[in-house]
């Protein structure tokens, strides 16, 4: 169950945002105004000639698009109906005051005529709650007039609560059955194409119980192949990968190849992934399972492997993870303003002074991230370095980050930080002519060029894990090497 939560699964619903029809619906009336005005104008001028049909014609040209818009909205409405009809037991229970109900609730129920309950007239009590960007369950419930306490009860459910907090996805639609006071009786949350959560209020009325149903998916192994003509990005799209898949591919391969510099015209690539089908309908794609890039200078292979603890990652065929222990730059979207150079004239001191690190020009205040995990061994003012943080990764490797405007809140000497964690913010304290990060990578105290130093990888697979990995990797690599795209139907599940 856990593996389907994976970020690398791409559901079709996500690649086609639901807000699109809404936006068209919102703006279409404005588009009709000039059209109608034109019609009136045309009618005004043509009426004396007896051709008064013109305004009518313009009205008719508008209505088919209305019909089309309504037709597009129908599936969502039909869905509400289906889920309501699928749970008749709850509908009956909702209208019957239960012994645990407060007097007020019970009164509200008995007084309410069925047609006055929320939802459409045919299926009273059910309403669709749309999750918008940045929503919490409480916010969405508030908009829909549902109980705040119930949103908390649901969000705190021990097993399913996290689907309504961290796991709540913008663009999804919850179907909620509630009484007039907004008390939730039951709830259906289709998380994605494969999974649906169903909750119902406990008989004692204070909590909810529910279950997660997972529909079986058919995995259809698919291969995308191509030859680089323009760029990996363009040619991978041309080979049939979607934009999010190309982004995944870039991320995976960039561990071993500089995609700007090392990919050349004529290089070949193959990518394996699963198309996911439910009831014969394509509903999304699974993560990239394997990828190769073969060229004159580069031969890169990556295979996805999920370890026994359920952690997925990409590995080289020999079991070494693609993930590195370090990244090369402490700031995003930046340029190197002064490279590592042990014989450089210093811009401020105007004399020969080794540049023992790399300078990354970056906007004042931009976050500086640890390039590897380590323990904070220095945090403070250090002469020309200005505000500096030093991290010790292990017995050999230390990293220095200088000229910070300020340090990350709460960071102090002795703390352990992870790769990617913010440790401070870009500034120009110490000897600096503009805002930048001076980044040093030292091995046994000796400065190394952080851009070219051979970075150690995360530890490789060994023993039984390696044997298990090879069992996955061998058939995948063999399939990638076969010419032409063979397609096979695999059973559900990644294994
Ligand atoms: Zn520097």
- Whether 22 and 76 share a structural domain: yes
- What is the biggest distance separating any 2 CA atoms in the chain, rounded to whole angstroms? 95
* 430 C-alpha to ligand 1 centroid (Å): 11
Count other Cβ atoms within 10 Å, centred on residue 204: 9
Q: What is the pLDDT of residue 75?
A: 33
- Whether 33 and 76 share a structural domain: yes
Range of the domain at 103: 85-214
Average confidence (pLDDT) over 112-137: 64
Residues with CB under 5 A from ligand 1 (ion): 359, 438
Q: What is the pLDDT of residue 488?
A: 41
- Whether 444 and 469 share a structural domain: no
- Whether 108 and 198 share a structural domain: yes
Q: What is the CATH number of the domain that holds 394?
A: 2.70.70.10
Q: What is the pLDDT of residue 257?
A: 80
Which of 159, 188, 214 marks a domain boundary? Answer: 214
- Whether 263 and 352 share a structural domain: no
* 267 C-alpha to ligand 1 centroid (Å): 37
Q: Which residues of 457-492 are buried (b: 16+ CB within 10 A; e: fewer)?
A: beeebeeeebeebbebbeebbebbeeeeeeeeeeeb
- Whether 235 and 289 share a structural domain: yes
Check: CB of residue 368 under 8 Å from CB of residue 330. yes
Query: Among residues 254, 204, 216, 203, which one has the least CA distance to residue 232?
Result: 254
pLDDT (tens digit per residue) in 139-152: 999 999 999 999 99
* 381 C-alpha to ligand 1 centroid (Å): 15
Domain-embedded: residue 6 = no
* 72 C-alpha to ligand 1 centroid (Å): 58
Using DSSP's 3-state secondary structure scheme, residue 352 falls into strand
* 388 C-alpha to ligand 1 centroid (Å): 12
- Whether 343 and 438 share a structural domain: yes
Which of 214, 240, 259 marks a domain boundary? Answer: 214
- Whether 465 and 317 share a structural domain: yes
Q: What is the CATH number of the domain that holds 117?
A: 3.10.450.350
* 436 C-alpha to ligand 1 centroid (Å): 8
* 424 C-alpha to ligand 1 centroid (Å): 16
Both tokens of residue 129?
A: 């709650």
Per the model's pLDDT, the better-predicted residue between 447 and 193 turns out to be 447
- Whether 253 and 283 share a structural domain: yes
* 110 C-alpha to ligand 1 centroid (Å): 76
pLDDT (tens digit per residue) in 288-316: 999 999 987 778 999 999 888 777 889 99
* 322 C-alpha to ligand 1 centroid (Å): 29
Domain-embedded: residue 186 = yes
Q: What is the pLDDT of residue 344?
A: 67
CA dist., res. 299 & res. 322, Å (int) = 14
DSSP string, 209-247: EEEEEE---EEEEEEEEEE-SS-HHHHHHHTT--HHHHH
Q: What is the pLDDT of residue 302?
A: 95
* 355 C-alpha to ligand 1 centroid (Å): 6
Which of 37, 60, 80 marks a domain boundary? Answer: 80
* 408 C-alpha to ligand 1 centroid (Å): 20
pLDDT (tens digit per residue) in 236-295: 999 999 999 998 898 888 878 877 777 888 999 999 999 999 888 888 899 999 999 998
Domain-embedded: residue 220 = no
Domain-embedded: residue 474 = yes
* 447 C-alpha to ligand 1 centroid (Å): 12
Maximum average pLDDT range among 34-48, 58-72, 99-113, 163-177: 163-177
Check: CB of residue 457 under 8 Å from CB of residue 413. no
- Whether 90 and 206 share a structural domain: yes
* 359 C-alpha to ligand 1 centroid (Å): 5
* 256 C-alpha to ligand 1 centroid (Å): 27
Count other Cβ atoms within 10 Å, centred on residue 7: 8
The answer, yes or no, to whether residue 329 has pLDDT greater than 70, is yes
Q: What is the pLDDT of residue 80?
A: 33
* 402 C-alpha to ligand 1 centroid (Å): 8
Reported confidence tier of residue 335, pLDDT bands at 50, 70, 90: confident
* 395 C-alpha to ligand 1 centroid (Å): 24
- Whether 120 and 143 share a structural domain: yes
* 403 C-alpha to ligand 1 centroid (Å): 9
Domain count, the chain: 4
* 345 C-alpha to ligand 1 centroid (Å): 12
* 262 C-alpha to ligand 1 centroid (Å): 27
- Whether 72 and 89 share a structural domain: no
Domain-embedded: residue 241 = yes
Domain-embedded: residue 426 = yes
* 357 C-alpha to ligand 1 centroid (Å): 6
């Amino acid at each position: 169950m856990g593996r389907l939560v994976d970020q690398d699964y791409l559901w079709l619903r996500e690649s086609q945002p639901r807000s699109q029809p809404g936006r068209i619906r919102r703006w279409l009336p404005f588009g009709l105004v000039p059209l109608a005005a034109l019609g009136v104008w045309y009618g005004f001028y043509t009426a004396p000639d007896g051709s008064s049909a013109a305004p009518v014609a313009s009205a008719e040209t508008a209505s088919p698009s209305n019909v089309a818009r309504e037709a597009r909205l129908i599936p969502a409405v039909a869905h509400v109906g289906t889920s309501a009809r699928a749970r008749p037991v709850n509908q009956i229970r909702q209208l019957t005051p239960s012994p645990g109900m407060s007097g007020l609730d019970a009164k509200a129920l008995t007084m309410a005529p069925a047609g006055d309950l929320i939802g459409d007239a045919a299926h009273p009590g059910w309403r669709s709650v749309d999750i918008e960007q940045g929503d919490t369950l409480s916010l969405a419930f508030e908009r829909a007039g549902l109980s705040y306490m119930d949103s908390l009860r649901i969000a705190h459910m021990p097993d399913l609560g996290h689907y309504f907090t961290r796991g709540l996805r913008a663009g999804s639609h919850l179907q909620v059955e509630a009484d007039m006071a907004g008390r939730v009786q039951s709830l259906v949350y289709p998380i994605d194409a494969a999974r649906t959560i169903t909750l119902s209020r406990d008989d004692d009325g204070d909590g909810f119980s529910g279950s997660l149903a997972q529909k079986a998916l058919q995995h259809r192994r698919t291969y995308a192949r191509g030859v680089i003509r323009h760029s990996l990005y363009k040619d991978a799209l041309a080979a049939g990968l979607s934009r999010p898949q190309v982004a995944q591919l870039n991320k995976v391969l960039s561990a071993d190849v500089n995609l700007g510099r090392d990919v050349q015209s004529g290089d070949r690539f193959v990518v394996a992934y699963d198309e996911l089908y439910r009831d014969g309908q394509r509903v999304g794609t699974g993560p990239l399972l394997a990828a190769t890039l073969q060229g004159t200078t580069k031969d890169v292979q990556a295979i996805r492997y999920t370890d026994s603890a359920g952690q997925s990652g990409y590995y080289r065929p020999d079991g070494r993870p693609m993930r590195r222990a370090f990244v090369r730059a402490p700031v995003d979207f930046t340029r190197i303003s002064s490279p590592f150079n042990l014989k450089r004239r210093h811009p401020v001191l105007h004399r020969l002074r080794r540049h023992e690190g790399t300078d990354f020009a970056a906007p004042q205040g931009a976050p500086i991230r640890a390039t590897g995990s380590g323990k904070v061994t220095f945090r403070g003012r250090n002469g020309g370095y200005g505000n500096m943080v030093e991290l010790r990764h292990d017995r050999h490797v230390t990293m220095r980050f200088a000229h910070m405007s300020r340090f990350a809140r709460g960071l102090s000497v002795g703390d352990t930080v992870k790769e990617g964690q913010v440790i401070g913010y870009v500034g120009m304290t110490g000897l600096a002519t503009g805002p930048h990060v001076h980044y040093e990578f030292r091995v046994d105290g000796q400065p190394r060029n952080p851009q070219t130093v051979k970075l150690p990888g995360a530890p490789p697979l060994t023993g039984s894990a390696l044997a298990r990995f090879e069992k996955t990797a061998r058939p995948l690599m063999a399939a990638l090497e076969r010419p032409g795209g063979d397609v096979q139907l695999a059973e559900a599940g990644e294994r």
